[in-house]
Structure 1
Amino acid sequence: MSSSDDHAGIARLAPASRPRTLVVMGERHFRDMFDAPRLHRLRHLCDVRGPLPAGSFHDGRVRAELGEVEVLLTGWGCPPLDDEVLAAAPRLRAVFHAAGSVKANIPPAAWQRGLVVTSAAAANAKPVAEFTLASILLEGRRTWRYVEGYRRHRDGDSAWRDLVPPTLNHGAVVGLVGLSRVGRRVAELLQPFDFTVLAADPIVDRDQAARLGVTLADLDDLLRSSDIVSLHAPELPETRHLLDRRRLALLKKDAVLINTARGGLIDTAALIDTCRAGHIRAILDVTEDEPLPADSPLYELPSVQLTPHIAGSMHGETRRLADSALDELERFLDRRPLEHQVEAAGLSTLA
């Protein structure tokens, strides 16, 4: 059954055996995700026990339920499933994560135990890609320069406009660092526009890139060639500070750097110096420390736009995540193949 708002209105037989289930996530995220139809569907599929939602594994009611629980439905705000939690849940068979990355929640012991783990990362990629596309198009128009110039001079026809760099939305080069779920979706969304799109990704071949309408390039060459660079790589030991001082210096004058992936991909000290010098503009939805310390120079730099990690699903958008998790749960109960299962072997390339 496909995800939609009318699940509750479709008559279906309940699963023969509804698994004992705990929902563990933040209260606000749960309220956003589970409207009445989705809550009805959850209760239809599962025997939901304990607090709804549970915010901690240390709550007495949750600890009492862990001994019987077979399924966890988790999301943002769920604490890690540490060894103590796993030991207290001997019947646990599966974790359906109604959010993106599972790395912070699922420890090695869970994989060793053979738990089924799924993620709603594919559903969460959609709003991130849309945010990125909007940023590319607005930055391509140099919108922030006109907003600031108009506000300061209050004269839309003033000579200050001659100081704004040329717009980029026709014939510019966009560089995607990483063809992750989000990177691939951004590549697809860019196809109707008049951009040349380059991509740097060590595990994607040229045929795969061509199907997305992008040309593979070495990372340094991509940085030298691109007018707008958007980061979509996972943060791994080998990608930490991927854009260091040397690589930031490769960017064109007045290039735009967009980061909706992970803050640690950029050397923050080097970025501050590069933006302070007026060499590039940075659009940062993620930073190396989150929240960013109140005394960070990034707040004060006019060439930096900061948003507090809002590119992913918010408010009603999070219902896609609930649908994804519930769809996977239904497939699991029906013994059908899962579409978004996370395997331990693939963790090294995931965000």
Structure 2
Amino acid sequence: MTRPASLLAAISANEQPDFLPEPLFADVRALTPKFSWCDTTGISLEAFHRALREANPEILLACWRTPPLPAELPPALRYVCYLAGSVKTLVSRAHLERGLRVTNWGGSIGRMVAECALFHTLSCLRRGTHWALTMHREGGWDNDNPQTASLFGQRVGLHGFGPVARELVGLLQPFHCAISVCAPDVDAETERRYGVRAVSTLETLFAENDVVIELAPLIPATTGIITEKLLRLIRPGGVFVNVGRGAVVDEAALLRVAQEGKIRIGLDVFAVEPLPADSPFRGLPNVSLTPHIAGPTPDRRRDAGEFSVANLRAYAAGRPLQGLITERVYDTST
């Protein structure tokens, strides 16, 4: 294995033990004869750019708290290994066009996001928020007419079929759900491999399923694509869950539908984050809310760290990188 000339880990002191607990962090340090660490906790853009210029690394290891890269990169920089997901706040498309290689956490965290989608689905079907409000605040108890539903045998529709959706298919298997998918990259082979049915329109997806789960990336073509008309195709008692991106949905329309109380809604993402304290979504008994935490839980962030360390080793050995952000991936990802 050829050791990279230098590596700068520009990650915060809080991110390091979650993503790269020992001995993973020791593995990173051992990859190069010239290792340096820039704690990005509270760092200014100017201070980060200065540290990057001074280190002039061949590899930059980055995470959520790493500030954006400068337009003019250090001359030695060849590879950015990003421990997290969306790279658009870190690198520009122009960086990729000039040959910078960039990877992110790829599919390593898909199962955790899928798990959160399953949580919201079950919470909605079992009316978790309703019972929490009724029992905690009002001392309520009504098990004669609970109006709950089971996930077993339900029809589930997935908008988008990336790594998260594919993990979710596996989690849904014990429930024997009929799963349909609306996504541009689902062909006959994908249908056979995952046991799903492709549908050509969102209208079909929303009208034919008991549960619809939003997993599409946020790009210009998907911004606001989930309209009030689509949401009203979900039958009364049905479920809409969004663990993808908030702005894919017309949120004003979603609120109107939510306030009517006919369908149940699970949300981890919102058009404006943090969700304002006075948001009308708060306190609705048919709405399950989490604060954009569908990604890897702190105890599983090491999965992304292990994935990144494998990529660093692959880079050193001249092997292909996984989770590579090509120009096409950059354009079609959140």
TM-score (norm 2): 0.91
Listed as ranges, the matches of 1:1-351 within 5 Å are 16-46=2-32, 47-53=34-40, 55-59=43-47, 62-63=50-51, 65-66=53-54, 68-84=56-72, 86=73, 89-151=74-136, 154=139, 156=141, 158=142, 161-162=144-145, 164-217=146-199, 218-351=201-334
Amino acid at match of 1:20: S
1:263 Cα deviation from its structure 2 partner: 0.5
Amino acid at match of 1:176: L
Amino acid at match of 1:27: A
**Larger RCO, structures 1/2 (Cα 8 Å, 6+ apart):** 2
- Which ranges in structure 2 are unaligned for 5 or more consecutive residues? none
* SS state at 1:49 partner: strand
CA distances 1:77-98 after superposition (whole Å, capped 9, x unpaired): 22222315x2xx1110100011
1:322 Cα deviation from its structure 2 partner: 1.1
* SS state at 1:198 partner: strand
Distance 2:25 2:331 in 1: 34
Change (3 A) 1:60 1:342: closer
* SS state at 2:113 partner: helix
1:242 Cα deviation from its structure 2 partner: 1.4
CA contact (8 A) 1:50 1:62 kept: no
Change (3 A) 1:50 1:35: closer
CA distances 1:229-285 after superposition (whole Å, capped 9, x unpaired): 111100111111111111111111121111111000111111111011112221111
Distance 2:117 2:58 in 1: 38
* SS state at 1:282 partner: strand
Distance 1:289 1:224 in 2: 28
CA RMSD of aligned residues (A): 2.2
Q: Percent identity?
A: 31
Amino acid at match of 1:317: R
- Which ranges in structure 1 are unaligned for 5 or more consecutive residues? 1-14
1:331 Cα deviation from its structure 2 partner: 0.5
Change (3 A) 1:52 1:178: same
* SS state at 2:89 partner: coil
Amino acid at match of 2:109: N
TM-score (norm 1): 0.87
Aligned length: 331
1:62 Cα deviation from its structure 2 partner: 4.5
* SS state at 2:8 partner: strand
